[in-house]
Amino acid sequence: MQIQSTSLPLLLLLFLSLSPLSSSQQSCTSDTFSQNRLFSLCNSLPVLSSTLHWTYHPANSTVDVAYRAPQKSDGWIAWALNPTGSGMDGAQTIFAFHDSRNVMTTVSSPITLSNPVVKNSSLSFKVYRMGSEFSSNMMTIYATIQLPGNRTRVNHVWQASNTFSNGLPSGHPTTGPNVQSTATLDFLSGQSSAAAGSSRLHRKNTHGVLNAVSWGILMPIGAIIARYMRVFKSADPAWFYLHVACQCSAYVVGVAGWGTGLKLGSDSKGITYHSHRNIGITLFTLATLQVFALLLRPKKDHKYRLYWNIYHHAVGYTVIVLSIVNIFKGFDILDPDEKWKHAYIGIIASLGGIAVILEVFTWGVVLKRKRAGGSDKSHNGVNGVNGTNGYGARQHQGV
């Protein structure tokens, strides 16, 4: 019971640690531009430390825009409208970067998932003027465009990277802020909403919380319960029911996390985290086999109980190891502040420390019991083993 109560603050800490974090926004009102350019409205964008300034002309449904983002001289920035969606696929994009002569240049190019290559070509709406400049590690794109369909409410996308191919921008990071840089903007009212990006980020956080709590915490706690509580005669058979309840709860929550992962994968066409996905599939398959194996658990005196114990322990510990590995891969994808990863490391280290302490303590109990001449084989040895070898003894008291 001490283990169970200790886990509660750890679970609460994990929920807090994986909760979505609001990105700090810089003020856009203090920005100034060359040639005394002035704009009516501005918006501090939620990621990539970028700002967007604009002046809307209702008479002809055009808008003058200035997109500014921090960037080094060897990188590029981009801003786009997407008339057909809310992300990269279909984005009508304007890029700014230094060319081979180290001169700032501006090109326009539609971007689709089927053809993500940047090429200097016209967009689906009219661009009257475009240009760019670089100063003090800040790049700025200037453009005057015709609003698609004369609609003032648009989906826009912004980006920054330093990858080039054949002298043109090519690719960007597929984690963290670089996949959250999308929002809806009304050029008339100035209202902005990052609903699409925030919704996806919320699903990612939900996916992370569910899987971290289930596979990454409840599963190890269930293993600790089974390994150490059954040494004590007074805990039999309570340890078994606690173990089953903990592992089944972990599996149910893990299924929900796995489902959100499938949804995120289907919504992120063109972006695949292969190792994270493959480990997740393997993990879910092994965990499912582990749950069904409970229905086929032989009695303690059955001749096949030894082999079932070997299978059960091998698969169980494999699931725990894969879970922790995949959680850290998930951290790399979600890319939160380092302190949240450190918080999870603290949780895992605490569980590991508890396991080490209980390992020493239970061995002490068993050795003391053997010296006293204890003969109850169902409780002999660490974790119910008879001390001759780990798996051979578990046929007396296995999970």
Which CATH number characterizes residue 55's domain?
A: 2.60.40
- The residue range of the domain holding 146 is 34-193
Number of domain units in the chain: 2
Structure-model confidence comparison of residues 325 and 236, the more confident one = 325
Query: What end-to-end distance do the CA atoms of the chain give, in Å?
Result: 18
Rounded to 10 degrees, the C-alpha dihedral 52/57/62/66 comes to -20
Is 8 inside any structural domain? no
Q: Which amino acid is at 284?
A: F
Per-residue pLDDT at 116 exceeds 90? no
Q: Distance of alpha carbon 256 from its chain centroid, rounded? A: 15
Is 247 inside any structural domain? yes
Select from 170, 131, 123, 129 the least CA-distant residue to 148. 123
Based on the fold, state whether residues 182 and 212 are members of the same structural domain. Answer: no
Kindly indicate the confidence band of residue 271, based on its pLDDT and cuts at 50, 70 and 90. low
Interatomic CA distance for residues 65 and 68, integer angstroms: 10
Interatomic CA distance for residues 277 and 283, integer angstroms: 10
Q: Distance of alpha carbon 49 from its chain centroid, rounded? A: 21
pLDDT in the model for residue 388: 35
- Residues 178, 190 contacting (CB under 8 angstroms): no
Tokens representing 320 are 């725990």
Based on the fold, state whether residues 126 and 230 are members of the same structural domain. Answer: no
Per-residue pLDDT at 336 exceeds 70? no
Q: Select from 193, 213, 246 the last residue of a domain.
A: 193
Per-residue pLDDT at 33 exceeds 90? yes
Select from 195, 182, 208 the least CA-distant residue to 111. 182
Per-residue pLDDT at 166 exceeds 90? no
Based on the fold, state whether residues 271 and 185 are members of the same structural domain. Answer: no
Is 371 inside any structural domain? yes
Q: Is 114 helix (H, G, I), strand (E, B) or coil?
A: coil
- Residues 396, 300 contacting (CB under 8 angstroms): yes
Based on the fold, state whether residues 183 and 206 are members of the same structural domain. Answer: no
Based on the fold, state whether residues 171 and 278 are members of the same structural domain. Answer: no
DSSP 113: S
pLDDT in the model for residue 94: 95
Q: Select from 193, 208, 230 the last residue of a domain.
A: 193
Select from 173, 183, 201 the least CA-distant residue to 81. 183
Kindly indicate the confidence band of residue 135, based on its pLDDT and cuts at 50, 70 and 90. very high
Is 15 inside any structural domain? no
Based on the fold, state whether residues 329 and 311 are members of the same structural domain. Answer: yes
Based on the fold, state whether residues 270 and 379 are members of the same structural domain. Answer: yes
Based on the fold, state whether residues 122 and 220 are members of the same structural domain. Answer: no
Based on the fold, state whether residues 126 and 253 are members of the same structural domain. Answer: no
Is 327 inside any structural domain? yes
Based on the fold, state whether residues 78 and 153 are members of the same structural domain. Answer: yes
Kindly indicate the confidence band of residue 200, based on its pLDDT and cuts at 50, 70 and 90. low
Is 10 inside any structural domain? no
Structure-model confidence comparison of residues 23 and 369, the more confident one = 369
Based on the fold, state whether residues 114 and 260 are members of the same structural domain. Answer: no
pTM of the model: 0.50
Beta carbons within 10 angstroms of residue 398's beta carbon: 23
pLDDT in the model for residue 274: 82
Is 235 inside any structural domain? yes
Here the CATH number for the domain that contains residue 327 is 1.20.120.1770
Per-residue pLDDT at 178 exceeds 50? yes
220: left (phi over 0), alpha (psi -120 to 50) or beta: alpha
Per-residue pLDDT at 292 exceeds 50? yes
Q: Average pLDDT, stretch 336-360?
A: 86
- Percent of the chain predicted with pLDDT > 70: 82
Based on the fold, state whether residues 208 and 182 are members of the same structural domain. Answer: no
Is 12 inside any structural domain? no
Q: Select from 168, 193, 218 the last residue of a domain.
A: 193
- Residues 77, 107 contacting (CB under 8 angstroms): no
Strand runs labelled E in the chain = 41-44, 51-57, 62-70, 76-81, 91-98, 104-111, 127-135, 138-146, 153-161, 164-165, 168-169, 182-186, 192-193
Cis amide leading into 237 (omega within 30):
yes
